[in-house]
Amino acid sequence: MYTLKELAYASSIIKRVALEHHVSEAQVRADMLEAMNAGRASTDPAVQAKWRSFHFAGQEPTIEEFILWMSSNIDM
């Protein structure tokens, strides 16, 4: 799982995105939740395989966990 420091960093990203786009943090979270749920609902086998590799602390992932997981999956 993720450390409190990592989760706090992810939370700061949400705040920064909200400030940069002149929207509320709640709006950023809602938009990210919509994107996360769209990905989870994909019927693409490759997408589903990727989602099975996502381990999170609770019954549902938090937006912070989602940010950290996605950022760890970026191929550079």
pLDDT in the model for residue 69: 93
pLDDT in the model for residue 3: 95
Q: What is the CA radius of gyration of the chain?
A: 13
Measured from the Cβ of residue 61, the count of other Cβ atoms closer than 10 Å reads 19
Segment 4-9 shows an average pLDDT of: 96
Angle of CA points 65, 54, 8, to nearest 5°:
15
Distances in whole angstroms, Cα of residue 52 to Cα of each of 19, 25, 27, 31: 32, 28, 27, 22
Q: What is the pTM of this model?
A: 0.85
Q: Is the pLDDT of residue 73 over 90?
A: no
pLDDT digits (tens, 9 = 90+) for 11-64: 999 999 999 999 999 999 999 999 999 999 999 999 999 888 898 899 999 999
